[in-house]
Amino acid sequence: MDTSQIRLVIHGGAGAIKRHKLTAEREQAYTQALTASLAAGYAVLAAGGSSIDAVMAAIVVMEDSPVFNAGKGSVFSHAGHNEMDASIMEGATRMAGAVAGIRTIRNPIRAAHAVMTKSAHVLLIGEGAETFASEQGIEIVDASYFHTQSRWNQLQKAMAEERVLLDHDADSDTPADEDGKYGTVGAVALDCHGNLAAGTSTGGLTNKRFGRVGDSPIIGAGTYADNRSVAVSATGTGEMFIRAVAAFNTAAQVRLQHKPIAEAADNTLAEIAAIGGDGGLIVLNTQGDYAMRFNTSGMYRGMIGHDGIAHIGIFTGDETPVSLP
């Protein structure tokens, strides 16, 4: 077993994250959650586990944390529901699974994995996805599990302002358009067998209507993995990421045009910016090279390699080493 190349890269959302509005307490909460996510995924990889299992372990931690817009911390729709989406893909065979518009599955990424491994399908939605997940033994919870007061307050604000908020707002007194963040979570991993995997999970948009679904559960838009190129997870303005086929676009540049991964990610983000969107991408190849790129003021992100040293970042600049719990 050769663990010298293992690597895990994660994100917890990108957006207009402002230093003067991010309190020390809240920054610590994000850092702790990101570090715990890296520790969970790294434990899988260091033990010789698969990249798929590492991605799932890392994302489950973030879904269970209320600070991210996924799982427990998901935002509310216009109708007052939490409607979640997730997808996962592995790079060796390009098998993939996804769920959308679900309301009672505690960990949407587990449901996406079940779709990939236990069904002949790629994407299941709504009640059908929940029935399938229940039959597969995935934990089902009462919808009240996802109710957090801060998210409910955001919905009331968004409805009062007749806006669709682009994500969690650290300062509830801030106008919606001044502090938009995309708290979607994601992970990409490389295991000791040289296989890549990617996963993404989200609660979508505050005040979304009509069963809206963004890029997170769309293979090729929010998530993509191919051992011939890269694994990618995206966060940002979902409609534009779908229109740019962001994750596949990045992978295709690497595989077909032999672009360096950071350049490929930047090219994709530039395309998204040109049609009015923004956000970030995490990218990883089979050599363990990675990129965490964003065209916003910040992106919650982290990385850990074979040396077991975790690195966390929020704003532009280098990531900071942190101790695992």
**What are the catalytic residues?**
184
Give the C-alpha distances (Å, rounded to integers) separating 198 from 19, 91, 128, 206, 298: 29, 8, 24, 25, 21
Question: Do the beta carbons of residue 50 and residue 195 sit within 8 Å?
Answer: yes
Annotate 271-286 with DSSP letters as a single string. HHHHTT--EEEEEEET
Question: Do the beta carbons of residue 216 and residue 87 sit within 8 Å?
Answer: yes
- Residue 25's H or E segment, with its range, is helix 24-46
Annotate 226-283 with DSSP letters as a single string. -TTSEEEEEEE-HHHHHHTTHHHHHHHHHHHS---HHHHHHHHHHHHHHTT--EEEEE
**194 CA to centre of own chain:** 22
Question: Do the beta carbons of residue 111 and residue 70 sit within 8 Å?
Answer: no
- Enter the tokens of residue 260: 């360096």
CA 223 – CA 283 distance, rounded (Å): 10
Residue type, 307: D
**215 CA to centre of own chain:** 10
Task: Spell out the residues 6+ positions from residue 311 whose beta carbon is closer than 8 angstroms to its own.
Answer: 302, 303, 304, 319, 320, 321, 322
